[in-house]
Amino acid sequence: LHLVQNLRVSDRCAHSSGTRGWGGGGKWGVKKVMSTIEWQLLFQKRCPSRGTFTAWCNSHLRKAGTQIENIEEDFRNGLKLMLLLEVISAERLPKPDKGKMRFHKIANVNKALEFISSKGVKLVSIGAEEIVDGNLKMTLGMIWTIILRFAIQDISVEETSAKEGLLLWCQRKTAPYRNVNVQNFHISWKDGLALCALIHRHRPDLIDYSKLRKDDPIGNLNTAFEVAEKYLDIPKMLDADDIVNTPKPDEKAIMTYVSCFYHAFAGAEQAETAANRICKVLAVNQENEKLMEEYEKLASELLEWIRRTIPWLENRVAEQTMHAMQQKLEDFRDYRRVHKPPKVQEKCQLEINFNTLQTKLRLSNRPAFMPSEGKMVSDIANAWKGLEQVEKGYEEWLLTEIRRLERLDHLAEKFKQKSTLHKSWTTGKEELLSQKDYESASLMEIRALMRKHEAFESDLAAHQDRVEQIAAIAQELNELDYYDAATINARCQGICDQWDNLGTLTQKRRESLERVEKLWETIDQLYLEFAKRAAPFNNWMDGAMEDLQDMFIVHNSFFVHTILITAHDQFKATLPEADKERMAIMGIHNEILKIAQTYGIKVVGENLYTVLSPQDISNKWEAVKQLVPMRDQTLQEEVARQQSNERLRRQFAAQANIIGPWIQTKMEEISHVSIDIAGSLEEQMSNLKTYEQNIINYKSNIDKLEGDHQLSQEGLIFDNKHTNYTMEHVRVGWEQLLTTIARTINEVENQILTRDAKGISQEQLNEFRASFNHFDRVIMQLYPNCRISMFFFLYFQKRNGMMDPDDFRACLISMGYDLGEVEFARIMALVDPNNTGVVTFQAFIDFMTRETAETDTAEQVMASFKILASDKLYITVEELRRELPPEQAEYCISRMTKYIGGDAPPGSLDYISFSSALYGESDL
């Protein structure tokens, strides 16, 4: 007892002098003479680790309903030691021996030590006999070994060792706090601020760090111990006085105590990490579902618009008037200019959204999106193709109907003109033929009446041709389904009936005149001659006037020159001969006057043989001469109109011949950019954006061409020999150009998305692209029966971003792959799941990055949920709402199925099937 008291005095001296170890100065002599028993007594009384290790063991043993009082005594039989190992490892040890003899105890301790060794721990100089004998040093060494293996070894931050990992964790957690600088596991913890900072960092509600003082280490330490024991279930393992009054506190004791904080808080951090992973996965699913819904909505709206538009275009009920048909044509132009272009953009955007969605699903390890039945991109393309076919037929029908109505209007006007002339000629003829003036006439009058009737018959025969023309025009109007055919038919029937009646009356009058003609002897031959020659000449002048006023319809200046003007010139060439006939007729009249003057005959009244007078012939001749220059002017105006139309043709052709090759050039440039590996994807994107802006800026040229096309249609111009490009060709090419640039930009965006998501460098991507382009030989020979009549598809004859299986195999071999038939078949199933016979660049990139890419999996999500559920196979609604943000929590609750198991409380949810479903087929 005296020796131990002296040792305590030496201990105090060592503390007061600040020296390391037991004793100091001249005390080495005392230290050297200490016996083994004295050292053991000193170790038992002054070892801080003993209390810490005891408290640590009890923190685990209490879970099994027991504890230890004396660490070197209570582990001697090995039973509690085996129980401690079972609790901290969650594993079953061999069944302990029941006996109380020494060899039973040694056997049980050996079972514990063998279990520790099975965990990869080397026990140096620690045997079962020392533990059974109550060797405190060996017992504490064994417990420290257990603590290192089960409490500290798994602590590793940034690939550091266990001790360094625990120290790094403490440094990171306490870095923001004033007066805290953790550099080790002894003196850095003496003022208690580091422990308080660890608690405050994770549970700021338990400690008000701002009120702590560095000069109150005892208070700080006790505050940390009390709060940890009360709220964190960490028993008090250290003594504040020992830590403060010891120059260098026990490192093992502090590491043991601090490791409890790590395990207490690491669980929360692990749960937070798991929750973040789950939120990220759910966010991807929610975004994908939103994109799917948007695709479905846009596809439905576009298909509905096509469904509504096609019946309108299929309605081929012709209007009766030119004005109504022109209005239909204008409505169709509004559809082309106003209503259809936005739908073209929607169709293109729909395809882009579909490709982007598939890329996102592929990058997030989700299955491909399958739209609802009838809403595939191919379905929309087929519906659009049907719309354009109906649209083309509708335009052709409109133009045909307009031509038909134009012809009908021309014929109706011609019918009206000829009918009016005929009516004018027949006016009074029936009354004249019905007269019986011959009954009281003189001989001369009878002869005059006879000659007059013969002249009438000649005139009647001459008008037969006009009646036949009127009937032919009426028949053509009926065949062309003229809307007012009933009126035409009625008028034609009236003319024919009147004509038949005139023939009957003429025949009857001739018979009457011939019956009395023998009673009359002399007829003035000159009057008769005048009448006979004047009537045909008058009829010729009527026909000439009719021809000079005849209406015509032509579509080119060639017809005007070769037919109309030539015919008119020929007519003018006959005028001198006609003038001679007129002079001859007028000579007959002059001869009558001369004879009458010579023989003193007084001529009274008009020529009885004809209603025509010399003045009538002269007046009508003057009328014919006036109509000739008018006809000249009309033909010249028509020539000018045709020349104007020709200018419109040339103007349209000049622009079309520029725009067509420009569109073709842009298509080729875009195809070159899409396969050019020079520069980064961002540079490609910039180039494509520049192309897109140039294309958008070029739209004004298309609009101007549309304006010229509209002027051509308004001028009824339906052909153009100066260009092979029609407006329809340009429209299709323009829409294809817009769609191609948009799709190309989308493909580059998807490549950027793939590159960033897969974590591949620009150099790797360039290498992939170079390898792909070298073997990209799929050209138009893949489609030998495809007849592309549009010049805009010329760029398809170059590389088109696909490889056939043989080229793909050669490409893989060139990159170092050793391919057998089975392995190559597996790879082809990945890159060409639909058996199209070609490998796209996007599928090639996905394959090259899929094997090494880091993607979230269903197993990772299950593991995260298991952490939140505290290792249970189910999770409760309360746990979800506590660990996840409200939106994600409700998302899981609404989609998880109920957990089927007898050990789960009511309302528990099955997170395992939910995690698997996240990577299965979508509901849409």
Ordered DSSP codes for 257-318: HHHHHHHHHHHHHHHHHHHHHHHHHHHHHHHHHHHHHHHHHHHHHHHHHHHHHHHHHH----
Is residue 769 scored above 80 in pLDDT? no
For tokens 């006809």, the residue is 631
What is the per-residue pLDDT across 286-306, written as a single tens digit (0 to 9) for each?
888 889 999 999 999 999 999
Write out pLDDT tens, residues 76-87: 888 888 888 888
Q: Enumerate the H helices of 364-376 as residue ranges.
A: none
Average pLDDT for 730-749:
88
Q: How many Å apart are CA 450 and CA 512, to the nearest integer?
A: 10
- Tokens 């500290």 locate to 152
* CA-atom Rg of the chain in angstroms: 57
Specify the range with the lowest mean pLDDT, choosing from 210-219, 354-363, 626-635, 840-849: 840-849
3-class DSSP assignment, residue 406: helix
Are residues 691 and 670 in contact, defined by beta-carbon separation less than 8 angstroms?
yes
Structure confidence at residue 158 (pLDDT): 57
Task: Check if the beta carbon of residue 72 is closer than 8 Å to that of residue 139.
Answer: yes
Which of the pair, 596 or 543, is modelled with greater confidence?
543
Low-confidence winner among 58-67, 687-696, 840-849 (lowest mean pLDDT): 840-849
Q: Which of 669, 406, 672 is nearest to 551 (CA)?
A: 406
Phi/psi of residue 179, nearest 5 degrees: 65, 15
When the pLDDT of each residue in the chain is averaged and rounded to a whole number, the result is 79
> What is the CATH architecture of 536-642?
Up-down Bundle (1.20)
d(CA 659, CA 480): 40
CATH of domain 274-409: 1.20.58.60
Q: Does 239 score more than 50 pLDDT?
A: yes
- Amino acid 818: pLDDT: 64
Report pLDDT for 625.
86
At 9 the pLDDT is: 32
CB distance 778 to 728 below 8 Å = no
Per-residue pLDDT, 165: 83
Distance CA 604, CA 599 (A): 15
Instruction: Tell me, yes or no, if the two domains 274-409 and 858-919 fold the same way.
Output: no
Pairing of strands 839-840, 909-910: unpaired
- The burial class, CB within 10 Å (0-12 / 13-18 / 19+), for 402 is buried
- pLDDT value at residue 191: 92
The model's pTM is 0.52
* Domain 649-781+797-826 annotated CATH 1.10.340.30: no
Per-residue pLDDT band at 517 (split at 50, 70, 90)? low
Place of tokens 């309605």: 315
- Over residues 253-270, the mean pLDDT reads 81
Domain 858-919's class?
A: mainly alpha
d(Cα 516, Cα 797) in Å, to the nearest integer? 95
pLDDT at 787 over 70: no
Average the pLDDT over 372-391 and give the result.
90
- Per-domain boundaries in the chain: 274-409, 536-642, 649-781+797-826, 858-919
Task: Give the pLDDT confidence of 617-670 residue by residue, as tens digits.
Answer: 899 899 988 888 988 888 787 788 878 888 888 888 899 899 999 999 988 888
**Cα 613 to chain center, whole Å?**
86
Residue 840: φ, ψ to 5°: -80, 165
409: amino acid identity, one letter: D
In percent, how much of the chain has pLDDT > 70? Answer: 82
